[in-house]
Amino acid sequence: MNAYPVHPDAAVTLSALETLLPVLFRALGGDPALKLKPAGGHGAHAWQDEATLYLPESIALFASAELNRRLYLWLAALSAEPVDETLDWLNRNRAAAAACLARQPGLAAEYRSLVEAFLALRPEPDSLPDEQRLAELAVREALAHPERAQPASANVADLAPVSLWLHPNPPRPQAKPDAGANKQSGSAAPTETPDNGPRAKQGDKQQAGEEKKVSLTDFKFEAKPRWEDYLSDHRDNQGGGEGGQGDEEKGPRATGAIDGDDAPPATSGMTYGFAWHTENDDTPLGPGIKLPEWDCRKNVLIQDYCLLKPMLPAGASRQPLPDRLKSLARHIQRQFQALTPERSRKSGEFNGPDIDLDRVIRFFVERHSGHAIGEPGLYQAWPQKERSLACLLLADLSLSTENRLPSGHKIIDVIRDSLALFAEALTASGDRFGLYGFSSIQRDEVRFLVLKDFSERYDDETRGRVLALRPGYYTRMGAAIRQASAVIAEQTAERRLLLIVSDGKPSDLDHYDGRYAVEDTRESVREARALGVTPFCVTVDQEASAYLPHIFGSNGFVVVQQAETLPQVLTRLYAQMTR
């Protein structure tokens, strides 16, 4: 039961403030990598874990909607403050509130109005038993004067909830144990809080019992299921520690189809017990390349942590441009030909397609007068100028590209068309470019598909690789960006542009998810810039504004509102960036 009356007519919902609260939280110093999620019903507390900031799904505590709105703002501001975990709950919140008000004195009046209205809702101390009365007096004093330290009280937990403070004991869902790892190590599986972000694990609906107590209701704007959503059981069972710890104990890496109880259910007629190594798999190009990965929890770059495997896409054969794309390709090629630098005339050449009449006349006049010395260059040349520019396009080929768009097309279809038209455009402009794709299956299987490297012509063979693309697995984006940066950094050009086409947040089967994945990707972008590469992300994920500014910066990405227009947006963006 709720300890306070509920005022539904004055209720304010989290979704009504979904744009304002993340901005406020980050502006006041909150972790920009955290995403915002609802924490429950009217009486819920605010709390956060390593990936998510949880705020009440709705607040109807006060009879005034304005006060309920102010409470949301206060909880977001309080959550942005670091907390001293060595203190008891009362003093932990008191100290955080004092620090928040000291740093943001403009919040003092709002805070005082909330405290005055909130204390009026709490029971009078004299109506409580002696021990609870003392605890209630301590809470009231801490609320009214957060700058004053209070003695710890063992009876605070018996009081009515303090809605102006953070959760006294935030839920910590238990990850599914990894039977294989536990059998070897003899220890319990590590605890891991699930990521309920834009790639929310909708396939976990079958879980009940203890997990149901801490289940979260996604915002409608985050309820965009991905194919890996239906593989959540398998993700959990692949185990591995947090932030690279305990990864040695993860379940055995699959060498065939997943079977038994670990196989995820088939959905829409598709079987998700996929095989990782089959006769129809992509063709490896060598033993692989070891790459580092950033562990934000240890604040260290772990060397040789990932194994990236360059591959050629399976089933590729020489292909012409599909007829449905030819008209659009011709239109784009005409536009990109305008980017080609104009030829400039060079006179006085000893060889060339044209005679330089001015120099020929001058030469005969000088020879007739007896002043000619040798035979000068009498030809004109029109050498082709090239822009000192190289571009590498890196496409996210994760499972989620199997999703269908409102038009009925799959995301992978749009990506194929985008790469094909992009290549036609850059061939027309004469710019040097490379095309690559990636997906991953944990850290030792980062697949890096070579569609066209910088030394190859774009012809029917390389076009066939693009048209043979199919959805891969997961999105270990940091490793892919590091390899792509190394490839383009080798190109001799004044400008090196790395375009990343993505459809969602970085994630993988193991611990590579949430804040860990975001921070590793951010570090890989920083490393790319240090190499003189300009990374830029083009995404069709409508919720990307929640995490891409932290990775690429506010001017380092663009969200394509209609995924079907990706081919046109990509070429238009490139033309604007390289003029």
**Nearest in space to 99 (alpha carbons), one of 160, 87, 45:** 87
Tell me, yes or no, whether 135 and 35 share the same domain: yes
Q: Is residue 281 part of a domain?
A: no
Whether residue 466 contacts residue 412, with contact meaning beta carbons closer than 8 Å, is answered with no
Residue 343's pLDDT is 55
Tell me, yes or no, whether 225 and 330 share the same domain: no
The residue type at 525: V
Q: What is the pLDDT of residues 354-376, one digit of tens each?
A: 777 777 777 777 777 766 666 67
d(C-alpha 540, C-alpha 565), whole Å: 10
Residue 398's pLDDT is 92
Q: Is residue 322 part of a domain?
A: yes
- For residue 325, what are its two tokens? 């794309």
Please give the model's pTM, rounded to 2 decimal places: 0.56
Residue 167's pLDDT is 87
Rg (CA), the chain: 31
Residue 186's pLDDT is 38
Residue 528's pLDDT is 97
**Backbone conformation region of residue 442, classed left if phi is above 0, alpha if psi is from -120 to 50, else beta:** left
Domain boundary among the residues 231, 247, 276 is at 276
Q: Is residue 22 part of a domain?
A: yes
Is the Cα torsion angle 319, 322, 327, 328 positive or negative in sign? negative
Residue 384's pLDDT is 58
Q: Is residue 172 part of a domain?
A: no
Tell me, yes or no, whether 351 and 332 share the same domain: no
d(C-alpha 526, C-alpha 535), whole Å: 9
Q: Which three-class secondary structure state does DSSP give residue 411?
A: helix
- For residue 486, what are its two tokens? 């190394």
pLDDT < 70 stretches in the chain: 1-2, 40-44, 153-157, 172-280, 338-350, 370-375, 380-387
Tell me, yes or no, whether 232 and 206 share the same domain: yes
Per DSSP, what are the bridge partners of residue 290? 307
Tell me, yes or no, whether 451 and 424 share the same domain: yes
Per DSSP, what are the bridge partners of residue 536? 499
**Nearest in space to 387 (alpha carbons), one of 353, 345, 336:** 336
CATH number at residue 488: 3.40.50.410
Q: Which three-class secondary structure state does DSSP give residue 410?
A: strand
Tell me, yes or no, whether 549 and 465 share the same domain: yes
Tell me, yes or no, whether 107 and 203 share the same domain: no
Domain boundary among the residues 135, 158, 181 is at 158
Q: Is residue 168 part of a domain?
A: no
Tell me, yes or no, whether 72 and 23 share the same domain: yes
Tell me, yes or no, whether 19 and 54 share the same domain: yes
Tell me, yes or no, whether 194 and 224 share the same domain: yes
Domain count for the chain, please give it: 4
Edge-to-edge strand order for the sheet containing 47-48?
Answer: 35-38, 52-55, 47-48
Q: Is residue 185 part of a domain?
A: no
Q: Is residue 1 part of a domain?
A: no
For residue 229, the enclosing domain spans 190-259+267-276
Q: Is residue 126 part of a domain?
A: yes
Tell me, yes or no, whether 412 and 528 share the same domain: yes
Tell me, yes or no, whether 30 and 105 share the same domain: yes
